[in-house]
Amino acid sequence: MLLPLTNTPRPYAWGSTTLLARLQGREPTGRPEAELWFGAHPGAPSTVADGTGRTLDRWLADQSRGESVPLPYLLKLLAIAHPLSIQAHPSKEQAAAGFAREEAAGIPRDAPERSYRDDNHKPELIVAVSETFRALVGLREVAATRRLLDALGDAPGVRAVRDRLAEGGAAPGALPRSLVPWLLSAAAAEAVADVRRALRDARSDEFHRELELARRLVEELPADPGIVVALLMNLVVLERGEGLFVPAGMLHAYVDGLGVEVMAASDNVLRGGFTGKHVDVAELGAVLDPAAGPVEIVRPVRRAGAVGDVADYPVPVADFALARVRAEFGAPAQLHPRGTAIALAVAGEVTLAQGASAERLRPGRALLVTSDDRPLRVSGAGEVFVAQPGG
């Protein structure tokens, strides 16, 4: 069965006023449109366009005679004009413990100061749909960060950050676990101010992109200590179709661009800057993975034996899987989704068919694909991402 899904863009302040509208071929609203959710997550479930007005979570429950059958994943379009918060997500075990702790403390689940809104982990995969997509992901290799800090000069605050970076006790290839929490604390305020001032005149051929971004961040968020945390992170520029996998504990902040994101269905986010939301420095420090080094880009792998152009993004989790399907006139593609899937078009115009059911799909539109032994056929000329439970 194929069912169209609809939703309303989330108006977060970091969202673009044009990227989603341009993708969907409509006039911009003039307001930020940050995220478009396709899934059954209770925070903003999609509506099933079958004439009943039901949201997808209700539809799935009705299909299973009232039993709760949550999707293990959430598919999104992200349209980013300004950086998202610097953040990390807990592991499954950390999420379960944190959720139980806050439940026992009686903190309402929708309270702004709540860190754990459920007991699930939140690994995620982001794939660039715009020609480029910039992200700060993971902690940069220590020696390289020393070279970047050297480019900032020798102000007392810069020296203090360098000294903290050189503290003993860190595992090989890792940053001291105390460094990020210290930068986000009041104790580092003078050091952070010195680094911000040093950025104005800093020059480096090796790190010119990082310094340019940091100066932009100073203009947008002049008092935010996350600017110095960002200087510890890898700046990654994805080309269209390339992806990044973010496991538990990895510090990240998406900077700008349009992307398709699929994640485990969770709201657990520990923030560390670039945000007006709750920042729990101690808990961020507890879940943060201090390992430092380059981040691997996830590229699509052509599916062996597939009919047409079908490629998978390999990720080491069971919550979700993502495939990219490209069809051309006269060269349709075909795949067998696993479990309940969601297909999202990002380019061209395609027709999805399964048995006698067929639906046309344009960019920025999505379909629910229910579990079926029959293959899903994609024809026309365009590009579709298909999210489904992992293997």
Residue 300 has pLDDT above 90, yes or no: yes
Which segments within the chain are labelled E, that is strand?
A: 2-6, 35-38, 47-48, 73-80, 87-88, 124-128, 132-139, 233-239, 243-246, 252-264, 270-271, 297-298, 301-302, 309-313, 321-327, 333-335, 341-354, 357-361, 366-369, 376-388
Cβ-based burial of 153 (10 A; exposed 0-12, middle 13-18, buried ≥19):
middle
- Verify whether residue 365 is a known catalytic residue: no
> Domain spanning 2-135+238-268: which superfamily?
Jelly Rolls (2.60.120.10)
pLDDT at 66: 59
Catalytic residue among 140, 196, 271, 324: 271
User: In this structure, are residues 141 and 292 in contact, taking their beta carbons and an 8 Å threshold?
Assistant: yes
Q: What does the pLDDT look like over 70-106, one tens digit per residue?
A: 799 999 999 999 999 999 999 999 999 999 999 999 9
pLDDT at 67: 57
Backbone angles phi, psi at 159, to 5 degrees: -60, -40
User: In this structure, are residues 131 and 283 in contact, taking their beta carbons and an 8 Å threshold?
Assistant: no
Residues of the chain with CATH 2.60.120.10: 2-135+238-268, 309-388
The whole-model pTM stands at 0.96
User: In this structure, are residues 368 and 5 in contact, taking their beta carbons and an 8 Å threshold?
Assistant: yes
Q: What does the pLDDT look like over 210-220, one tens digit per residue?
A: 999 999 999 99
pLDDT at 64: 79
> Domain spanning 309-388: which superfamily?
Jelly Rolls (2.60.120.10)
